Amino acid sequence: MIKNYGARKLSRTSAHRRSLLRNLATSLFLHEKIETTHAKAKELSKYSQKLITSAKPGDFNAKRAVFAEIKDEVVRKKIFDVLVPRYKDRTGGLTKIFIVGTRRGDAASVAIIKLLS
């Protein structure tokens, strides 16, 4: 019996999916709002919230965890200088997803994901 627990595969291999989520998270942290498909936005929401939560202690291990996932130096600095202090009192719900409509080319559901202020 197939249960389908876990995350969405997004029609990609595990390495491609990990790279996709890293790039989406980097863009989300840099611009604080991006437009993507609804399925990718839902996965990105879980991924980015876990990343910010792991960065909250601000110690050496937290920095290593973030540095392993986010490769852009400007974004890493923004996470620890701007985002972690902003969300220090929040335990969850750091992102919000708005469904915008469908994409004309393939009728995929398009959503905007943004970081809450």
Domain CATH for 33: 3.90.1030.10
Residue 11 pLDDT: 93
Sign of CA dihedral 113, 64, 81, 71: negative
Which residues span the domain enclosing 89?
14-115
Q: How far apart are CA 9 and CA 30, in angstroms?
A: 25
In a domain, residue 7? The reply is no
In a domain, residue 74? The reply is yes
pLDDT, average across residues 34-40: 98
Residue 4 pLDDT: 78
Q: Say if residue 5's pLDDT is above 90.
A: no
In a domain, residue 3? The reply is no
pLDDT, average across residues 8-37: 97
pLDDT, average across residues 45-70: 97
In a domain, residue 6? The reply is no
Chain-wide mean pLDDT for the chain? 96
Enter the tokens of residue 72: 């852009």
